[in-house]
Structure 1
Amino acid sequence: MKREIRLIIGLWMMSGFATAQSSFLFQNKDVKAGTKEYFSIPIIDGQDSTAIPVTVFNGIEDGETLGITAGVHGYEYAPILGAQKLIHAINPEELKGVIILVQLAGLESFLGRSPYISPVDGKNLNRSFPGKINGTITERVANFISEHIISRADYFLDMHSGDAPEDLMKYSAYYSNSDMPEVSAKGKEMALSLGFDHVVQFNTDGKNYVEEDKSSLYCTAEAFKRGIPSIDIECGRMGIVEQDAVEKIAGSVLSLLDYLGFLLLDNERAVSDTPILISQRIYSSSNFNGMFYPAKKAGDYVIKGMKLGHVTDYFGAILQTVYAEEDGLLLMIIATPPINKGEDIAVIAKVD
């Protein structure tokens, strides 16, 4: 039956009722309509080298372009595996427009099992945008994504999870700025279409990186700064491969494609009936180097003054007790012992 539906769609396209898709040029290669192509983009700085695996899907009908990145932090495995599932789940013969999928932006971090930073140059890719064409490896990766993927996108999605020490709630997020109401509103709709129970607003009012001469730092912030509706997925925790998180990510992206009109066939959308909107987050940080003992877990509802955990020195003496500064949902809490002075220990989300 599915094969018959595809044949009907193909005949419909050829009959002239829809605008046939043309080839999509990417890295000097034509991606034909109704096909996907794999690219391994070499990034070299003269001393070190890496690669960026990218899949380009070109649909059978003319449309817009969606850019997707996974693995900007290479220890965040759920979105990386979710992206790999999408390679097979997205059929370009049933697609309108173009999808550029970066399956693993931080390859060296991934191979080196290195949370947050690349072991090659010690830089955090998600603090390096828009990057530098003549910079270090990480800065060059950021530059390539900025100039060859984000710049071509009408919509943008960056997929993350809790890194090695982070116990994290599942949520979607969107970028917002009062000077960009239409782009912000579209981002909110996109974030809602992903079907998560919690949706976080990244309010950039007053943020320097929105200004033209300031670095955006974050991958999605770079897209938003360019006037592109931009959203994030945060799904998974502590670098653990949990199949439900992988499946949730892949299914949520298909729901987004359906909402944006990229899918020619209807997809069953996993939309939450009553998503909880979060517009304010409260951060608690460590005042010491030492060991952290959490007393709560991500997703717990906490009350102001409630104990979240404590920090000890290396001999076990308590240096700091961390208390909830507001009522709200515990969006993230550090779940492994090492803690550095100034690091975020917990994030509380105030529920709208």
Structure 2
Amino acid sequence: MAGVLTVAGTAVAPGTRVRAAIEVRGCGYAVRMPVTVINGRGDGPVAAVIAGLHGAEYPCIETTIRLARRLDPHQVRGALIIVHVVNEPAFYGRTAYVNPLDGLNPNRVFPGSATGSISERMVRRVWEDVIAPADYLIDLHGGDIVEALVPFAAYTPSGNAAVDDVARRMAWAYGIPRVLEAEIPGSSMLAAARAGKPAVLAEAGGGGLLDEPSVATLLEGTERALAVAGVLPAAGVPSVSIGTPTKMIWHRAAHQGMFYPSIKVGDRVERGQVLGRICDVYGDVLTEVRSEASGDIIFLVTCPPVSPGDPLLAVGGT
């Protein structure tokens, strides 16, 4: 990218940083997603960095704020499109998992719809204005308000060996020991991979907290991933050490009640091990939750009330 880049109707000249917004209206609502565009002076790829698909994951949102403020356009080769908060209604409403305006999880409806619900319309604009024009996608997340989480990175195989090699190296560039190979239906990462783009996800933090170690993990890792993509200089960036990815195995509630975990986040568990139990509000056990795989507890719901289908935890393993 060496010429003028237009994002959401805003023209960004080479060598400049511009703040803009993606405004979505429909279904009786109006939503504004804050964006920073950094257009470098020289030729190079375009990378998209998005955060706040889940509005209560604060370290990832803070990461995009700091990234946009500290990068000099002269450092950037190509361009960088940063969406600070996609799910603004959940951000200001302190809502876990979903958009409170329609009850949908925005990261399960990609690539969205221009005529759908407000979440589908928001996602469609992010897709059309940010992800589709980009060569690479980084989607930043963390544990939600009711989740504890150990940092991890992930990528989705596209079926193209060259694309997957870049995505794998971008994920391992975060320097996090846990890298997952994940295919999440309706996610930004899956939609981008299917469009032939290297796409990665990185998660740190949780519990509704904004903590510095999580921000540092995401910020430093994102800069290294952007160097792998060729958007930032690779000088001074450590070489990426590639390990063996694991799978993410979700465990969900089968009953309504209270979840009492017997493990904590980061614990090593074995297939068949009892991880906790769900009891009714009288204290009677409804079911035991057993591990469907051997591996580490990647995230764990820390708020007891659960309903059928709610996530309880995930194991990173086999």
Query: Which TM class, normalised by the smaller chain length?
Result: over 0.9
Cα RMSD between the aligned structures?
2.0
Structure 1 position 337 matched with structure 2 position 318: no
- Structure 1 pair 276/337, CA: closer, same or farther in 2 (3 Å)? farther
Which residue does 2:127 correspond to in 1?
Answer: 146
Farther-moved stretch of structure 1 (72-81 vs 330-339): 330-339
Indicate if the aligned counterparts of 2:153 and 2:174 stay in contact, CA closer than 8 A.
yes
Which residue does 1:70 correspond to in 2?
Answer: 51
- Structure 1 pair 123/326, CA: closer, same or farther in 2 (3 Å)? closer
Report the Cα distance in structure 1 between the residues aligned to 2:263 and 2:57, rounded to whole angstroms.
22
SS in 2 for 1:277: coil
Indicate if the aligned counterparts of 2:23 and 2:31 stay in contact, CA closer than 8 A.
yes
Which residue does 1:83 correspond to in 2?
Answer: 64
TM-score by length of 2: 0.93
Residue in structure 2 matching 1:278, options 245, 258, 269: 245
Report the Cα distance in structure 2 between the residues aligned to 1:304 and 1:25, rounded to whole angstroms.
51
Equivalent position amino acid for 1:165 in 2: V
Cα shift at 1:247 = 1.4
Cα deviations across residues 140-167 of structure 1 (Å, max 9, x unaligned)? Answer: 1111011111110111111111112222
Indicate if the aligned counterparts of 2:181 and 2:248 stay in contact, CA closer than 8 A.
no
Cα shift at 1:277 = 3.0
Q: How many correspondences in the alignment?
A: 318
Residue in structure 1 matching 2:168, options 185, 188, 193: 188
Which residue does 2:287 correspond to in 1?
Answer: 320
Report the Cα distance in structure 2 between the residues aligned to 1:292 and 1:27, rounded to whole angstroms.
44
Indicate if the aligned counterparts of 2:39 and 2:78 stay in contact, CA closer than 8 A.
yes
Residue in structure 2 matching 1:197, options 170, 173, 177: 177
Cα deviations across residues 129-186 of structure 1 (Å, max 9, x unaligned)? Answer: 1111122221111110111111101111111111122222211111114x32222222
Equivalent position amino acid for 1:31 in 2: V
Report the Cα distance in structure 1 between the residues aligned to 2:161 and 2:97, rounded to whole angstroms.
32
Report the Cα distance in structure 2 between the residues aligned to 1:276 and 1:164, rounded to whole angstroms.
30
SS in 1 for 2:209: coil
Report the Cα distance in structure 1 between the residues aligned to 2:10 and 2:55, rounded to whole angstroms.
27
Report the Cα distance in structure 1 between the residues aligned to 2:123 and 2:131, rounded to whole angstroms.
10
Equivalent position amino acid for 2:141 in 1: H
Which residue does 2:193 correspond to in 1?
Answer: 224
Indicate if the aligned counterparts of 1:197 and 1:272 stay in contact, CA closer than 8 A.
no
Cα shift at 1:49 = 0.6
Report the Cα distance in structure 1 between the residues aligned to 2:276 and 2:240, rounded to whole angstroms.
32
Which residue does 1:94 correspond to in 2?
Answer: 75
Describe how 1:132-281 pairs up with structure 2 within 5 A: 132-177=113-158, 179-203=159-183, 217-264=186-233, 266-269=235-238, 277-281=244-248
Report the Cα distance in structure 2 between the residues aligned to 1:255 and 1:265, rounded to whole angstroms.
8
Cα shift at 1:334 = 1.6
- Percent of residue pairs identical: 29
- Structure 1 pair 336/277, CA: closer, same or farther in 2 (3 Å)? farther
Equivalent position amino acid for 2:139 in 1: D
Cα shift at 1:22 = 2.2
Report the Cα distance in structure 2 between the residues aligned to 1:265 and 1:259, rounded to whole angstroms.
7
Cα deviations across residues 192-249 of structure 1 (Å, max 9, x unaligned)? Answer: 1222111111258xxxxxxxxxxx6111211111111111011112232221001111
Cα shift at 1:25 = 2.2
- Structure 1 pair 28/284, CA: closer, same or farther in 2 (3 Å)? closer
Q: What 5-or-longer segments of structure 2 have no aligned partner?
A: none
Cα shift at 1:316 = 1.5
Q: What 5-or-longer segments of structure 1 have no aligned partner?
A: 1-19, 205-215
Report the Cα distance in structure 2 between the residues aligned to 1:287 and 1:265, rounded to whole angstroms.
48
